[in-house]
Amino acid sequence: MNTDPREIIRTAPMSAAQWIAVVLMIALNALDGFDVLSSAFAAPGIAKEWGIARDALGVVLAMELVGMGVGSILLGGAADRFGRRPTMLGCLVVMASGMALATTAQNPQMLGLWRFITGLGIGGMLAAINAVTAELSSAKGRSLAMSLMVIGYPLGATIGGTIAAMLLKAGDWRVVFEFGAIATVVFIPLIWFFVPETPAYLLARRPDGALDRINRSMAKLRLPGITALPPVDERKGGASVLDILKPGLIGTTMVLTIGYSLHAITFYYILKWSPKIVADFGFAAPQAASVLVWANVGGATGGALFGFLMHRFGIKWPTIAMLLLGAAAVVVFGLGGSETTLVGWRFAVFCTGFATNAAIVGFYSAFAHGFPAHARATGTGFAIGAGRIGAAGSPILAGDLFAKAGFSLFTVSAIMACGSVMAAALMLMLALREAD
């Protein structure tokens, strides 16, 4: 009998239980996609109720991204220390609390605080679900599972955006956060019953009763158990947060972290500002929200097709190509104006979403292949968390360029597109390994 559960998972055909766990990871990322963009859906209503300018609104829109950065670093590390499953459950509780409290906000400052708390949970969740998807998938199914997991984000924003547009017709902006809180609570029992702790984590950490816990997880996955634990890899015996900054990993950590941060500047510019930009050209709030839905339809489409590109050409070069195409699409978005129809805005953001989210799929796949199991959630959390500096700065930077510098839509779009171009240059230096 094989004594390494990672090898069993890597080589055996994926069971229905494994696919159920992966589907739940996709759904969790979809939930994250809606939660992150809920403030963008609500932005026109928030600005109207409180009469806040673009630069102040940019700060509110950035707060969950700041929380995501902190959450990815702190709670991403928790997934490597305490386990993937308890971290996901804890993050769901934090997310539900933040979304529910957002409905009680009476001013921009309180809303920003509750969005920050929501972001803490989302950040930790992103690191954990990336690790779970990689560790519960076979070698043959991993590329498909990873690409499907990542496109859950725009799918959630698409479905959630459609629901948000309908809710906004019947109520004020707070109903968007009410829906998000209810949807988040629903996932707690689903994760509890259907997602076991990953054998790769248990093998890397070796807690008390590791053999029994691994076999219980393998049984839940409908895979054969093991009779004994494999020998300890002495190179990984002292795993810590600092491992990702040691020789051998620090280059990967820096390239992925800085590259992801730069791309996030471009990526979140469209996701956070397109509803407000379109609304400012005279369209109603539900129509503006529908534009963001099309950005995410494009993101889901691009992410799905990108999975096939990765299978044939690897991760690195398709990601570079999509980064450059995304930058070009954002510049073209900036050519829109008062004569642009709603269909024209939708097509423009569809194209930006197609390329920019495909590049996000590339980054998440690189996280799974760039870090070993004992530091995967930590490395992913660090890269995503520090990368959120770019994400959080994106709506603030765009708001200042609009309000304080007085730049036109085209100029702001051209500046914001530079993030993806610089990320493409960094990706040229990336070296990847086979995920364990």
User: Quick one: what percent of the chain has pLDDT higher than 90?
Assistant: 35
Which of the two residues, 188 and 291, has the higher pLDDT score?
188
**pLDDT of 262 strictly over 90:** yes
Predicted confidence at residue 237, as pLDDT, reads 46
**Mean local confidence (pLDDT), 131-150:** 84
Report how far residue 389's alpha carbon sits from residue 72's, in angstroms, rounded to the nearest whole number.
11
Confidence bin at 238 (pLDDT 50/70/90): very low
Say if pTM beats, i.e. exceeds, 0.85.
no
Q: How do residues 168-190 score in pLDDT, each as one tens digit?
A: 777 788 888 999 899 999 999 99
Report how far residue 426's alpha carbon sits from residue 320's, in angstroms, rounded to the nearest whole number.
9
Which of the two residues, 236 and 227, has the higher pLDDT score?
227
Highest mean pLDDT among 2-11, 159-168, 353-362: 353-362
**pLDDT of 384 strictly over 90:** no
**Mean local confidence (pLDDT), 206-218:** 91
Q: What is the mean pLDDT of the chain?
A: 85
**pLDDT of 338 strictly over 80:** no
**pLDDT of 76 strictly over 90:** no
Q: How do residues 17-48 score in pLDDT, each as one tens digit?
A: 999 999 999 999 888 878 777 777 788 788 88
* Domain annotation for the chain: domains and CATH numbers: 5-427 (1.20.1250.20)
Highest mean pLDDT among 22-36, 241-255, 297-311: 22-36
**Mean local confidence (pLDDT), 388-406:** 81
Confidence bin at 328 (pLDDT 50/70/90): very high
